[in-house]
Chains A and B, each alone.
Chain A
């Protein structure tokens, strides 16, 4: 199969799963009659949102590299907006904040677009790391200075730097895999997101003991083990769209699903600390952009570097 045919069959598979999920959700709602439980309503809202997200991804894929870079740049924008809402910045940080949105974010994605690995991999962690506190300090407000700067750095690393490693996968030059790099994004997003869904499903069906009761009420041992293992098996089954062998695909999937799980825990801890349940409300049934992408954020950079280390010359 050509890359185009592989992508198409992958999308058809996803559409079939979504259609099945919609049918199940419709049946559950009908069975409940006039008063569907909040759980069923939330499930249907989530499924509906998945249709929209898959459609957006499909449109971006059709537009090629530019479309994918732009899609994730916008995702970064919305994620950063949610993240900074929960920080305790002060009036003196205004120019630093504006620079994050209107300079750092576009430059990072532009560097990926022009495929300048040497700069996009250190731009935020080195240059912005040093320049941002300089911009902030020039206003002379020392109140909680280190906390404010640290929160801004964290926001940029999570929402811009880490997330930008999804489209950065397109810049990898893997021998024998040229022209198929979009499928690497499919692998990452499909495995990590289905791990989230499968953790939810296994947790709802069999979950009893909570993994981290102080962090998240919804993460259970059954969900963790069932979700991570089944998503890793799915990853192994998708070896044909990757440059990996079957065991390699399984190991990669295991690594990124585990990272995704712990990423979810870390982001939960931040929400707990700030007294909110969700990062935002822009995705019906899911919460905010960061609620949907927290696992991808933690998986993307490490997946990128593992592939780069072992599969590129």
Chain B
């Protein structure tokens, strides 16, 4: 179980695989969709992340097929990957609740006056 905070691209790469294995381009598209367009991964960055996540046991190579004469690999989430993703989601939920529960109680947010321009 990861104790460190997970970076946003890593979170969305893992989340993109929740519904089943995907190939590289589909992971990039799905991560962008899920993040509302915030996570736009370059291909080299994606494969660096996949290498790291594979070595940590969170992602595994599921299949390899030939498409247009070229090997295309699909990657899937391992059980450990699902666990770490859920743990991160719970951590963020707890962090968010600090703010949302305060708002529910009707307490006004403390604000700092904007700096006056010189």
Say whether A and B bind each other. no
Chain B residues with CB under 8 Å of chain A are none
